[in-house]
Amino acid sequence: METISTFLTHDHRACDEEFANMENAVSQENWDEANEKFNKFSSDLLHHFDMEEKVMFVAFEDKTGMTQGPTMMMRMEHEQMKQILDQLKDDLVSKDQNHFFGVSESLMMLMQQHNMKEEQMLYAMADAHLADDVANVVENMKAL
């Protein structure tokens, strides 16, 4: 059976791949492709956040009563990443490769730290607390 952890960890890797594709296009100064890859990465990342925030976090908070703990921190980090996405978009519009890579490096570090916390802590907690409902939670995330 697919767990919350395996499903969302796999989605992290897919987002990481899209991020790398975007950076590769920018490094080649292929701005049309960079914008296309940015849109794909951004869309996938925001969809990932939605799956967590609208489905998994809600189920976890309902089950545990913890609303000020890890899910609150993850939501705050999602907001930080959304702000960085806006900066990357601006850099693509202005074709500012140097600033883009400074900002993308910050996003990469934030994503890696964020993903580690989720993968090593939150997802395992969610699988444990939502053990009776894991399949349903995963299906609801896939349905978004």
Exposed/middle/buried for residue 113 (C-beta within 10 Å: 0-12, 13-18, 19+): exposed
- Kindly report, residue by residue over 45-90, the tens digit of the pLDDT: 999 999 999 999 999 999 999 999 999 999 999 999 999 999 999 9
For the chain, list the domains and their CATH numbers: 4-143 (1.20.120)
Q: What is the pLDDT of residues 12-56, one digit of tens each?
A: 999 999 999 999 999 999 999 999 999 999 999 999 999 999 999
pTM over 0.75: yes
Which of these, 87, 110, 109, lies nearest to 99 by C-alpha position? 87
Q: Is 86 exposed, middle or buried (0-12, 13-18, 19+ CB in 10 A)?
A: exposed
